[in-house]
Structure 1
């Protein structure tokens, strides 16, 4: 696996560049969240766009403000190596041993007080695809570190009354390991997927019906 090589100076410069890039292509980024937010968590997000990683970086920089590290597919890091300086590390699902190494690296980061971000779908899928079909990585990680909550974050891209897209984000309530009733990892993963799907569908419904007055603009 490829470890992160986080660089504070690079993050500061990249934030300025990324902010201008997002302003160029999006009308705004809007957030609604449950408070208070944990300082350390297993952050999980749906994955429907190339923009997701850049939006997550901006969200963390401006709103979450955690020491965030994100698991990315190895091919993505090899294609965009600068992500390592932002805190990305790799996983290669073609090799079971590599998955184990990536999870152990994630455990070590959590032990150091870091936040770890995952895209449980594994790959990029259309925003409206259902079921979401989560891989069990987040649950496997929480099984190893049950004191760390899972923080579900839903992204929804939408065209409103402007030529530019808008991004709406809901940060759900942290999910404690004791919240799950399933006895097996597969059962707990299905519970998590169902919870996340409900959150994403509710977000979609609010955006479609323009019930977004309580969202906060972060761009």
Structure 2
């Protein structure tokens, strides 16, 4: 497992690179419900369909949440983009069960020390229309060990509308804890979380297809 090597000056300076990059790449970042979570730390989870997802988390954190975030990232991707370590990324190798456990234990230590952790429970990038999402049980493992830390679900949906560049639609759902789940087994709890995330993603897709921007704020424009 590759641990994070967060450098706070790098984290702060990266914003000077990231914000112009996002403006060059997207016509808008449309967010609904994007607000500071009810407590600190939290576990963020999201669907994973694009390389941009991680960068969007860093953008949202720098502009809205302002947490000390650390992100679980596939080992191959972290080796390829090693600078993510300086932003708080740490690796997981799902081909090795011992490495999976080591990464989850590392995430648990981060949470217990007051850090916020970002997980992509799908484990890899898949097309945003793929169903089922196929969540792994890592999220419920962490929730069992940190039952008082809330989970905040985020959804990303990438779409072209009437501009040359695409938009990103983003929806932040209400926080929940282990005690809020109706299921008692880890397997069923994982299914329940996946169903919740699927419903939220499908709701976001509905807004995008209907071009219903009334309840969304363009976070790119807000940062100009």
* TM-score interval (norm. to shorter): over 0.9
The aligned counterpart of 2:123 is 122
Q: Structure 2 CA distance, aligned partners of 1:51 and 1:195? A: 23
Deviation per CA, 1:56-93: give whole Å up to 9, x if none: 11111111211100000111111010000000001111
Q: 1:194 to 1:6 in 2, by over 3 A?
A: same
Q: Which moved more, 1:206-215 or 1:170-179?
A: 206-215
Deviation per CA, 1:92-142: give whole Å up to 9, x if none: 111111111111111111111111000000010001111101011111100
The aligned counterpart of 2:135 is 134
Q: Structure 2 CA distance, aligned partners of 1:215 and 1:7? A: 33
The aligned counterpart of 2:164 is 163
The aligned counterpart of 2:12 is 12
Q: Structure 1 CA distance, aligned partners of 2:35 and 2:43? A: 16
Q: 1:24 to 1:36 in 2, by over 3 A?
A: closer
Secondary structure in 1 matching 2:70? strand
The aligned counterpart of 1:153 is 154
Secondary structure in 1 matching 2:27? strand
The aligned counterpart of 1:79 is 80
The aligned counterpart of 1:182 is 183
Q: Structure 2 CA distance, aligned partners of 1:40 and 1:29? A: 25
Question: 1:34 Cα shift?
Answer: 6.8
Deviation per CA, 1:18-68: give whole Å up to 9, x if none: 111111110111211176623211100111011111111111111121110
* Count of aligned positions: 219
Is the contact made by 2:155 and 2:201 (CA closer than 8 Å) also made in structure 1? yes
Deviation per CA, 1:183-210: give whole Å up to 9, x if none: 2100000000001100000010011112
The aligned counterpart of 1:65 is 66
1:30-109 aligned at under 5 Å gives the runs 30-33=30-33, 37-38=37-38, 39-109=40-110
Is the contact made by 1:34 and 1:173 (CA closer than 8 Å) also made in structure 2? no
Q: Structure 2 CA distance, aligned partners of 1:79 and 1:183? A: 39
Give structure 1 regions of 4+ aligned residues with deviation exceeding 3 angstroms: none
1:183-198 aligned at under 5 Å gives the runs 183-198=184-199
Please list every run of 5 or more consecutive structure 1 residues that lacks an aligned counterpart in the other structure: none
The aligned counterpart of 1:24 is 24
Structure 2-normalised TM-score? 0.95
Is the contact made by 2:35 and 2:65 (CA closer than 8 Å) also made in structure 1? no
RMSD of equivalent CA atoms: 1.1
Deviation per CA, 1:150-180: give whole Å up to 9, x if none: 1100001111111110111101000111111
Secondary structure in 2 matching 1:72? strand
Structure 1-normalised TM-score? 0.97
Secondary structure in 2 matching 1:82? helix
Q: Structure 2 CA distance, aligned partners of 1:95 and 1:129? A: 25
Q: Structure 2 CA distance, aligned partners of 1:133 and 1:186? A: 12
